[in-house]
Amino acid sequence: MSAITVEHLSKRYGELDALRDVSFEVPAGQVVALLGPNGAGKTTTMEILEGYQQPSGGSARVLGSEPRRAGRAWRARIGLVLQSTSLDAQLTVREALGVYAGLFPRPREVGEVLDLTGLTGEAGTRVGQLSGGQRRRVDVGLGIIGRPELLFLDEPTTGLDPAARRQAWTTVERLTADGTTVLLTTHYLEEAQQLADRVLVLAKGRLVADAGPDELRTRGTLTKIRYPLPPGAPAAELAADVDADHGELLVHTTEVTAALHALVGWAERHRIELAGLEVGPPSLEDAYLALINQLPGDSAAQQEVPSHA
Amino acid sequence: MPELAASAGPGRLPGSGPVFAGQVRYQLLLTMRNPRALVAGIALPLLLLLLTSSQHAHLAVSALAGRVVLGVTLTAYLTHASGLVAAREAGVLKRWRATPLPRWCYVAGRTCATVLMALASGAVTVAAGALAYHARLSAGAALSLLVALTLGALAWAGVGTAITAVIPTTDAAQPVLSLSYFPVMLLSGVLGALSGAPRWLSTLLGYLPGQPTLDAVTRALHTTGTTLSLPGHDLAVLAGWAIGALLASLRLFQWEPRAPR
């Protein structure tokens, strides 16, 4: 069954085409990551699916309804975490969750949500006194309190420290184990790799890729060879492939045997052990950047993926 | 691929009554924890009352009415409207819009909480005035005051809701609200009657919500019996503002921040 069906969706803001002929489906129970550079159309897509915006053309159906015209019963079946936090600072975490819980037919227990979001210790704290990361977790809590069938997560872990981000991933994984469908946007490719069953890549308003994370990684014919150079290693012969900033050799190649042969020869000549050598398909981030960079225009210049998220 | 049926979500939505009551509770909690609301609604009128009592042995009813109306309208207009703009800019309204909460329920719940806070403000000021000057409030005065303050607060909260449509940001809220509030209230005589106002101005003020609120409260405080005593014209003007503001809000109210977030 399909939770989201998007057909030939377009959106214009004056002269700007924010979305052009975008079509995809999200089956129920799947986690789909919507990726793309800034201005690619991710938030526009999310806002159309959430019912905030009217498309200029095409159609979008979410849980069987047109979002802009859907009523209360439909809104009780979705949950959303907006890109920016949107909370009343004067309420405690427990109060905020309790107020929202009262709107839904079969909400989660407040205690369960506190546990899922790791906020049990902050239940009695006013939202205004929480750190940015904790507020983000309250946002996530409000998104899931109604036990949604479909959850929209718009950059849910932006601003979280690595430990909190991993906890957020665990929360999403527990939700999806219950069959919740999730559509998320993120700038963290590691997050998409960890959570998503499928990745949609938008660039300049067009859908340029729709594949599983592993399929996207291995779709190209390139293989990645990475070797962290030991201090003082004579890297002059490898200069073209050395990433000076990170002190490592980094090669993306289709001629794996020849590249490895050259590397092993270099190591033998200088009596260097190739400790830490990695050979494999490119990461999702590599595949994503390659995809964006090969598009015409200046998409690559706009991309904003943390290189070591 | 088949789509999930629209009726797949089990369970019945909570009824409007409990949801509305929940909203009023939630909005009251927010207002009571808002220091600005407490200063404007309670502390400022009491301070002005204290200053007056230090200068005069007897408090004129019109002076007490002015302090009461000041607290009530500051709460119902300035605090209410600036709170709405802040909530809209912070994305709070946008989030509410995505929930099963009926839209009318949010605005009505917030307005109801504002009116209750305004009534509390009025009650505290009247009680302080009565205590300071050993005055007694008749049953008729209390009832008349309740009606006048409720209608006055409703009109001002309605106008406050409607005017948020023309306020783009929280930065713009204070000047717009102050400029639309203080001239009206000062000219209406909330801090003392103006003498020598031209006739056209007096007529105009009679149709704005400040003067009718003050007149209705003043007359209510003068009531000595057990029956209601209220000026019909002033109540009609206030009801007109409340209804007009409601209609304007239905058409113009903005749920999303003006600037992209």
Q: Three-class SS string for chain A?
A: CEEEEEEEEEEEECCEEEEEEEEEEEECCCEEEEECCCCCCHHHHHHHHHCCCCCCEEEEEECCECHHHCCHHHHCCEEEECCCCCCCCCCEHHHHHHHHHCCCCCCCCHHHHHHHHCCHHHCCCEHHHCCHHHHHHHHHHHHHCCCCCEEEEECCCCCCCHHHHHHHHHHHHHHHHCCCEEEEECCCHHHHHHHCCEEEEEECCEEEEEECHHHHHHHCCCEEEEEECCCCCCCHHHHHHEECCCCEEEEEECCHHHHHHHHHHHHHHCCCCCCCCEEECCCHHHHHHHHHHCCCCCHHHHCCCCCCC
The confidence score (pLDDT) of residue B6 equals 39
pLDDT tens-digit series, residues A224-240? 888 888 887 787 777 66
Q: How far is B103 from chain A (nearest CA, A)?
A: 10
Mean pLDDT of the A249-254 span: 81
Q: What distance lies between CA A38 and its chain's CA centroid?
A: 13
Q: How far is A25 from chain B (nearest CA, A)?
A: 9
Nearby residues of A132 by Cβ (< 8 Å), 6 or more positions away:
A85, A159
Residue from the list B1, B13, B90 with its beta carbon closest to the beta carbon of A86: B90
Report A:79-138 residues touching B (Cβ under 8 A).
80, 82-88, 90-91, 95, 99-100, 102-106, 126
- According to DSSP, the residues that pair with A60 across neighbouring strands are A6
Q: How far is A44 from chain B (nearest CA, A)?
A: 11
Average pLDDT over chain A reads 87
Q: Please give the C-alpha separations between residue B201 and each of A132, A166, B183, B205, B206, in angstroms, as whole numbers.
A: 52, 66, 12, 6, 9
The confidence score (pLDDT) of residue B88 equals 94
Q: CB distance from A64 to chain B under 8 Å?
A: yes
CB contact under 8 A, A77 and B9: yes
CB contact under 8 A, A64 and B6: yes
Q: CB distance from B195 to chain A under 8 Å?
A: no
The confidence score (pLDDT) of residue B8 equals 39
pLDDT over threshold 90, residue A49: yes
The confidence score (pLDDT) of residue A246 equals 74
pLDDT over threshold 80, residue A192: yes
CB contact under 8 A, A1 and B95: no
pLDDT over threshold 70, residue A15: yes
pLDDT tens-digit series, residues A73-110? 999 999 999 888 788 889 999 999 999 999 999 999 99
pLDDT over threshold 60, residue A298: no
**Out of A157-161, A169-173, B212-216, which region has the weakest mean confidence (pLDDT)?**
A157-161
User: Which residues of chain B carry a pLDDT beneath 70?
Assistant: 1-10, 53-59, 259-261
Q: CB distance from B13 to chain A under 8 Å?
A: yes
pLDDT over threshold 60, residue A309: no
Q: CB distance from B131 to chain A under 8 Å?
A: no
Which residues in chain A touch residue B105, judged by CB atoms under 8 angstroms apart?
A: none
Q: Which two tokens stand for residue A193?
A: 């790799």
Size of interface A-B (CB pairs under 8 A): 112
pLDDT tens-digit series, residues B93-121? 999 998 999 989 999 999 999 999 999 99
Residue of B nearest to A63 (CA): B4
Q: Which two tokens stand for residue A33?
A: 């990551």
pLDDT over threshold 80, residue A245: no
